[in-house]
Chains A and B, each alone.
Chain A
Amino acid sequence: MQVIDWVVLIITLFFIVFYGAWKTRGSKNVQDYILGNNETPWYTVGISVMATQASAITFLSTPGQAFNDGMGFVQFYFGLPLAMIIICITFIPIYHRLKVYTVYEFLEQRFDLKTRSLAAILFLIQRGFSTGITIYAPAIVLSSILGWNLNLMNIVIGILIIIYTMTGGTKAVNVTQKQQMFIIMSGMFIAFFIILSLLPKEVSFNNALQIAGVNDKMNILDFSLDKEKRYTVWTGLTGGLFLALSYFGTDQSQAQRYLSGKSVRESQMGLVFNALLKVPMQFFILLVGIMVYVFFQFQSVPINFNPNSKASIEKSVYASDYKKLEGELVDIASEKKEVTLAYVNQLNIETDNKVLKNRIIALGEKEKTLREDAKVLISKANKKNKTTDSDYVFIHFIIHYLPKGFIGLLLAVIICAAMSSTAAGINSLASTTVIDIYKRNIKTEKSEAHFVKASKGFTLLWGMIAILFACFGTLFENLIQFVNIIGSIFYGTILGIFLVAFYIKYVKAQAIFWAAVFSQIAIFIIYYLAIYIFPPGKEKLSYLWLNFIGVIITIIVSVTVQYFRNSNTKQQ
């Protein structure tokens, strides 16, 4: 990192933080602090919703995912536009009509206080864990690449977020997210064009896509019904729909963004904005990864991008075997570069040379095998080593190949993304704690000023919890997966409660409460019996299914309990 990179990084971050805090200071009442006085226009709602979902790991991992597995990940987002329409039609008008601060308030109006409190507590547990991760995940990647102190990074990023989120509440989150999204998208566009300019002269954008295609990276759509494939058009439309419904419809960190809209119409337009732009945005981020892949065809790249894995294996008895694999990769990469350039030259005279094409495919297979062999060695060297390296591919490109100044900009992109999702997280955690727990159950009769102060206090508290959790993140081996599992364990039950609330009028308060408790216990048991007791990779059930199972159990049990309650009442 050069001085200019530090200047760009520090000025960008400090401008966003202090402008956001200054511009949105002085909230006088709870509506102002939690819902931004319901003055947010549709485009801010839309940008805010997108910025909340796009965490730092999105911009670190997604290009790396394209590098390893191609463009297929975009299918995961196909259900999102459908979820946006369902939320626009059903959820938003009701939330606005009831003038709720949090989505869990609606559950008290539809059912009772205990169902509201149960859903709010499930949300606090789940979001409390994951907010720490949104700081920790990029910090661990950046610290291992740049040699920065991990805990110092966690604390600095956390404090910057707390400063503006505590000062201005939702308004500050929305204002800063607009600037953060601008930095993020500008940075990604600049990175994209820099990669194109760094390709060999004879390789055009069209050629680059052809090279990616030959290397099996352009299989965007998969219409197969193979259950073992994680990303297909069908899993995207069904699984993606369920996940997006729970995340956007019942998670306060997202709901708070559109609840702050000026009107029903403005909130709906914000989600329509997201529904129109999300898929192309993800496609573009994957395309950046594809361009990085093509660029690396003409460079010498590591056999595994995670520097920690390399450091670990170099100290082990497998160091010489690993070195041998690295040597073999250099030979293959060198041959592949020559063959690829020859293939491009043939393409440019409009000849699709099948011999060269097959040679590239064969070399690609050899390269893949070498990378897999390297992963096996890394794992043998220390079972705790992380073998996947997709989070490190894009940052490797940024640090080693971007011109001066742009490294600082791209690091600002990653930290801005971490800040935007974490700020929305602690903002929603504080709102839910104040509105659903503190105000409703503990201090019911206090002034507006008291609750604004309490909201600020809880923002600080949740911010500190997030930093603490991020600092202790290294204690957990598979932290990100751990948090995803926590999310899947709770999301199903919460979505089940909301779907029953919206669509099954027959079910009343007692039935849904006991169904939710039953569903949550059942999910814990299923998780233990089918996932927890099995070693990684040998589980009997993918944890993603817990979402769907939770929804189904909640719905079926609530209808059944209601049926028996009605029968008993009739008999009496």
Chain B
Amino acid sequence: MEEKKLRSWKRNYTLVLVMNALYILIFYFIMQYFS
């Protein structure tokens, strides 16, 4: 039970994944526009 509580997923981690996916998407559009 304690172990389960120790390794919990937090909303911040989702934010990290979403934001970094967004960065890659922005880089993709910048690349498409300027290359």
A is bound by B:
yes
Assembled-state Cα–Cα distance A151/B20 (Å) = 42
Asked if B34 contacts A210 (CB within 8 A), the reply is yes
Given contacts A279-B20, A280-B23, contact A221 B31 (CB under 8 A): yes
Tell me the chain A residues, 192-218 only, with Cβ under 8 Å from chain B: 209-210, 212-213, 216, 218
Given contacts A78-B20, A213-B34, A272-B12, contact A221 B28 (CB under 8 A): yes
Q: Is B30 an interface residue (CB 8 A)?
A: yes
Assembled-state Cα–Cα distance A210/B32 (Å) = 11
Q: Is A405 an interface residue (CB 8 A)?
A: no
List chain B residues, Cβ under 8 A from A84. Answer: 16
Nearest CB on A from B8, distance (A):
7
Which residue of chain A is the closest to B28 with respect to CB atoms? A221
Which residue of chain A is the closest to B34 with respect to CB atoms? A213
Asked if B34 contacts A89 (CB within 8 A), the reply is no
List chain A residues, Cβ under 8 A from B10. Answer: 88, 268
Q: Is A85 an interface residue (CB 8 A)?
A: yes
Indicate the member of B8, B9, B19, B35 with the most A CB atoms within 10 Å: B35
List chain A residues, Cβ under 8 A from B20. Answer: 78, 81, 275-276, 279
Nearest CB on A from B9, distance (A):
7
List chain A residues, Cβ under 8 A from B12. Answer: 268-269, 272
Tell me the chain B residues, 4-21 only, with Cβ under 8 Å from chain A: 6-10, 12-13, 15-17, 19-20
Asked if B16 contacts A89 (CB within 8 A), the reply is no
Asked if A89 contacts B35 (CB within 8 A), the reply is no
Q: Which of B8, B16, B31 contacts A81 (CB 8 A)?
A: B16
Q: Is A364 an interface residue (CB 8 A)?
A: no
List chain A residues, Cβ under 8 A from B24. Answer: 78, 221, 233
Asked if B27 contacts A74 (CB within 8 A), the reply is yes
Q: Is A90 an interface residue (CB 8 A)?
A: yes
Which residue of chain B is the closest to A277 with respect to CB atoms? B19
Assembled-state Cα–Cα distance A279/B20 (Å) = 8
Assembled-state Cα–Cα distance A90/B10 (Å) = 13
Q: Is A219 an interface residue (CB 8 A)?
A: yes
Q: Is A283 an interface residue (CB 8 A)?
A: yes
Asked if B27 contacts A89 (CB within 8 A), the reply is no
Which residue of chain B is the closest to A212 with respect to CB atoms? B34
Asked if B13 contacts A88 (CB within 8 A), the reply is yes
Assembled-state Cα–Cα distance A81/B23 (Å) = 12
List chain A residues, Cβ under 8 A from B15. Answer: 272, 276
Asked if B7 contacts A90 (CB within 8 A), the reply is yes
Given contacts A209-B34, A212-B34, A268-B10, contact A81 B17 (CB under 8 A): yes
Which residue of chain A is the closest to B19 with respect to CB atoms? A276
List chain B residues, Cβ under 8 A from A280. Answer: 23
Q: Is A220 an interface residue (CB 8 A)?
A: yes
Assembled-state Cα–Cα distance A216/B35 (Å) = 7
Nearest CB on B from A79, distance (A):
10
Q: Is A41 an interface residue (CB 8 A)?
A: no
Tell me the chain A residues, 272-318 only, with Cβ under 8 Å from chain B: 272, 275-276, 279-280, 283
Given contacts A81-B17, A279-B23, contact A93 B6 (CB under 8 A): yes
Asked if B7 contacts A93 (CB within 8 A), the reply is yes
Nearest CB on B from A100, distance (A):
15
Asked if B34 contacts A218 (CB within 8 A), the reply is yes
Q: Which of A85, A220, A269 contacts B27 (CB 8 A)?
A: A220
Q: Which of A219, A233, A275 contacts B16 (CB 8 A)?
A: A275
Which residue of chain A is the closest to B14 with respect to CB atoms? A85
19 additional A-B pairs beyond A221-B24, A268-B10, beta carbons within 8 Å, are A74-B27, A88-B10, A89-B13, A90-B7, A213-B35, A218-B30, A218-B31, A218-B34, A220-B27, A220-B30, A220-B31, A221-B27, A269-B12, A272-B13, A275-B16, A275-B20, A276-B16, A279-B20, A283-B27
Instruction: Return the 5 tightest CB-CB contacts between A and B, nearest first.
Output: A213-B34, A93-B6, A218-B34, A220-B27, A275-B16
Q: List 22 A–B pairs whose Cβ atoms lie within 8 Å, in order of A's numbering.
A: A81-B17, A85-B13, A88-B13, A89-B7, A90-B7, A209-B34, A213-B34, A218-B35, A219-B31, A220-B28, A220-B30, A221-B24, A221-B28, A221-B31, A268-B10, A269-B12, A272-B13, A272-B16, A275-B20, A276-B16, A279-B20, A283-B23
